[in-house]
């Protein structure tokens, strides 16, 4: 579940649209209580940051911290290449 959660957060972050808790729940990655527990764990480990949404200060968004984001970017490039190849073939 952590992998799926990080993929969802990292992808949205790369697209310039970080996700809030409600948006993560709508991704159907897991039950909301489990999702909250996983987010808190990743926050405590220093993998994620929680900050106020730029447009709506009442809402918090989750982002991957810079060192982990660099790793994610490499992973995302590989995923995008694979998706492009799959579209070309299919």
CATH code: domain of residue 66: 1.10.10.10
Paired tokens of 19: 């996700």
Classify 33 in phi/psi space as left (phi over 0), alpha (psi -120 to 50) or beta: alpha
Residue 43 has pLDDT above 70, yes or no: yes
Instruction: Report the number of distinct structural domains present in the chain.
Output: 1
Quick check: 68 and 47 in contact, CB under 8 A? yes
Q: What is the pLDDT of residue 71?
A: 80
Of 18, 1, 7, whose CA–CA distance to 71 is shortest? 7
Residue 54 has pLDDT above 80, yes or no: no
Q: Which is higher by pLDDT, 59 or 47?
A: 47
Q: pTM, whole model, 2 decimals? A: 0.75
At residue 41, the 3 state secondary structure works out as helix
Cα 74 from Cα 22, distance rounded (Å): 27
Which domain range does residue 73 map to?
A: 2-89
Instruction: Provide φ and ψ at 60, rounded to 5°.
Output: -105, 145
């Amino acid at each position: 579940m952590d992998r799926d959660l990080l993929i969802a957060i990292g992808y949205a972050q790369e697209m310039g649209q970080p996700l809030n808790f409600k948006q993560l729940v709508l991704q159907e990655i897991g039950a909301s209580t489990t999702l909250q527990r996983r987010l808190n764990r990743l926050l405590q480990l220093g993998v994620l940051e929680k900050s106020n949404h730029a447009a709506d200060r009442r809402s918090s968004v989750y982002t991957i911290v810079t060192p982990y984001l660099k790793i994610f970017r490499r992973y995302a490039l590989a995923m995008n290449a694979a998706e492009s190849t799959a579209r070309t073939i299919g």
